[in-house]
């Protein structure tokens, strides 16, 4: 790979500044999903077992440069201790004298979590002085937070300029999996893109057309493409101002020899609500007062046939309003086929993005995919073919 990993460095007795993603969801003060902590646990454990002094850097929420108890990482400590099965010390700041004292007291194998880096506005500005204040506490920098790598912040990019820099195990796994997805994939390569709007995914669609053999477009965003073909989409979510953009994407797909797959039928209801009456209609006979909330059974069949022919699949965005039953069916049925093909060893499947993870969890198949990225923005930017600053700096360090 184009970056150094933990295999390339001796860490015993060295102070390792480890950037992790601990931005777990919290509802009513309770952590509702521990996946992010679990993902970085192997790197923390490996470093600690090898005798490093592990100093954790992370952000939490969007405090925008202000200290707030709501965004304190202190509330994560107990859960981390349970997952790591050892003590995690906590420092109420991420720079300054207190931190330096706490670091000086660390023994080999100790783990110290520093307070939210975003309590300083300088973090998001990638301020060099702030990066230096972070760097004084470490001998080595390890980045294990792919999900924050699309931002050039002090703890994700600036620090790597100042210290020897390495990818942690979770970052390594993410980059290796993504390389298999779009970097140098096995063809035929299929992409599924769904979700609400075309406007948020124009760059994504244009970039995918250059790379994939088949591009499936579903979800609300497919409606704009249907309208661009002159079809009536009734009361459905549709960005009529982007009809020309959709047409340009369709023309590009044709010239790039990329097969574009749009729904051939749809599940229609009169309201965006759970358990409302619904009917399946062919795509050229959508009622004027109808709303497309999911792909229909013929579309599911067609997409699943395409999946059967593919060797690699990348997926972002649900194919329907999956939060509302029964409009989850299209996403669930297609997700199940991906799961079956992956388990049979016939498909490399990579999915990511917030709603996609939720949709695949809902389908009960999230664990069956070859790789499921927890990163939202970073995953999308990677799918768009962009170079992420936090990854780029690790690669530059390798040169
Ligand atoms: P995104 O964040 O762009 O991936 O969009 C995800 C959202 O798209 C989910 O909340 C879905 O409910 C919504 N969505 C998917 N298909 C439709 C549809 N046909 N009509 C309205 N919303 C949809």
Give the pLDDT mean for 95-119. Answer: 98
Predicted pLDDT at 275 = 87
The number of the ligand 1 atom at minimal distance from the alpha carbon of 222 is 19
Give the pLDDT mean for 199-221. Answer: 95
Residue 55 dihedral angles phi and psi, to the nearest 5°: -110, 115
Predicted pLDDT at 132 = 98
Predicted pLDDT at 33 = 87
Q: For the ranges 3-7, 341-345, 374-378, which has the lowest average pLDDT? A: 374-378
pLDDT tens for residues 229-246? 999 999 999 999 999 999
Distance 18 CA to ligand 1 centre (A): 36
Predicted pLDDT at 165 = 97
Predicted pLDDT at 350 = 96
In this predicted structure, the answer to whether residue 181 has a pLDDT above a threshold of 70 is yes
Predicted pLDDT at 29 = 83
pLDDT confidence bin for 183, thresholds 50/70/90: confident
Distance 331 CA to ligand 1 centre (A): 11
Predicted pLDDT at 345 = 98
In this predicted structure, the answer to whether residue 1 has a pLDDT above a threshold of 70 is no
Report how far residue 372's alpha carbon sits from residue 282's, in angstroms, rounded to the nearest whole number: 33
pLDDT tens for residues 276-303? 999 999 999 999 999 999 999 999 999 9
Residue 342 three-state SS: helix
Distance 339 CA to ligand 1 centre (A): 22
The single residue listed with the structure tokens 């007795």 is 13
Q: Is the peptide bond before 326 cis (omega within 30 degrees of 0)?
A: yes
Ligand 1, CB within 6 Å, residue ranges: 194-197, 200, 219-220, 237, 292-293, 317-318, 320-323, 355
On whether the CB atoms of residues 13 and 106 are closer than 8 A, the answer is no
Predicted pLDDT at 126 = 98
Range 195-200, long-range pairs (CB < 8 A, 24+ positions): 195/219, 195/220, 195/221, 195/316, 195/317, 195/318, 195/355, 196/220, 196/221, 196/237, 197/221, 197/237, 197/239, 198/224, 198/225, 198/239, 198/242, 198/245, 198/246, 199/239, 199/242
Tokens of 20: 């992790």
Give the pLDDT mean for 114-123. Answer: 98
What does the mean pLDDT of the chain come to? 95
Give the pLDDT mean for 16-30. Answer: 93
Task: Taking the CA atoms of 261, 262, 266 and 271 in sequence, report the sign of the dihedral they define.
Answer: positive
Q: Which of 191, 193, 194 for a ligand 1 pocket mutation test, highest count of atoms within 8 Å of Cβ?
A: 194
Q: What percent of the chain has pLDDT over 90?
A: 91
Predicted pLDDT at 2 = 87
The number of the ligand 1 atom at minimal distance from the alpha carbon of 201 is 3
Predicted pLDDT at 397 = 78
**Active site amino acids:** 36, 197, 354, 377
Tokens of 40: 């970085």
Predicted pLDDT at 399 = 63
Distance 211 CA to ligand 1 centre (A): 24
The number of the ligand 1 atom at minimal distance from the alpha carbon of 197 is 3
In this predicted structure, the answer to whether residue 180 has a pLDDT above a threshold of 90 is no
In this predicted structure, the answer to whether residue 382 has a pLDDT above a threshold of 80 is yes
pLDDT tens for residues 128-166? 999 999 999 999 999 999 999 999 999 999 999 999 999
């Amino acid at each position: 790979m184009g970056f150094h990993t933990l295999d390339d460095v001796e860490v015993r007795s060295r102070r390792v500044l480890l950037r992790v993603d601990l931005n777990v969801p919290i509802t009513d003060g309770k952590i509702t999903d521990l996946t992010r902590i679990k993902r970085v646990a192997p790197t923390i454990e490996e470093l600690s077992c090898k005798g490093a002094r592990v100093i954790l850097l992370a952000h939490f929420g969007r405090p925008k440069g202000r200290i707030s108890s709501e965004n304190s990482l202190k509330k994560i400590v107990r859960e981390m201790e349970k997952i790591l099965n050892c003590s995690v010390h906590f420092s109420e700041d991420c720079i300054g004298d207190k931190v330096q004292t706490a670091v000086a007291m660390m023994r080999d194998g100790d783990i110290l979590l520093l307070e939210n880096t975003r309590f300083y506005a300088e973090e998001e500005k990638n301020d060099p002085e702030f990066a230096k204040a972070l760097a004084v506490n470490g001998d080595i920098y390890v980045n294990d937070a792919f999900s924050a790598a699309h931002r050039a912040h002090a703890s994700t990019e600036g620090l790597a300029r100042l210290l020897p820099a390495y990818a942690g195990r979770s970052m390594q796994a993410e980059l290796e999996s993504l390389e298999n997805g779009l970097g140098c994939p096995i063809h035929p390569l299929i992409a599924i893109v769904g979700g609400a709007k075309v406007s948020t995914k124009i760059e994504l669609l244009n970039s995918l057309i250059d790379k994939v053999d088949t591009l499936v477009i579903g979800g609300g965003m497919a409606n704009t493409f249907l309208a661009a073909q002159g079809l009536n989409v009734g009361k459905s979510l549709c960005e009529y101002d982007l009809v020309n953009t959709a047409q340009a994407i369709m023309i590009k797909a044709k010239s790039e020899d990329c097969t574009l797959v749009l729904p051939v039928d749809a599940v229609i209801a009169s309201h965006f609500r759970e358990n409302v009456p619904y009917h399946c209609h062919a795509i050229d006979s959508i009622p004027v007062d109808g709303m497309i909330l999911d792909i229909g059974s013929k579309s599911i069949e067609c997409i699943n046939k395409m999946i059967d022919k593919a060797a690699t699949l990348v997926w972002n965005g649900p194919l329907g309003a999956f939060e509302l039953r029964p409009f989850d069916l299209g996403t669930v049925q297609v997700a199940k086929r991906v799961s079956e093909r992956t388990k049979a060893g016939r498909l490399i499947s990579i999915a990511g993005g917030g709603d996609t993870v939720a949709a695949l969890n809902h389908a009960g198949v999230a664990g069956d995919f070859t790789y499921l990225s927890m990163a939202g923005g970073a995953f999308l930017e990677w799918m768009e073919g962009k170079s992420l600053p936090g990854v780029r700096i690790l690669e530059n360090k390798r040169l």
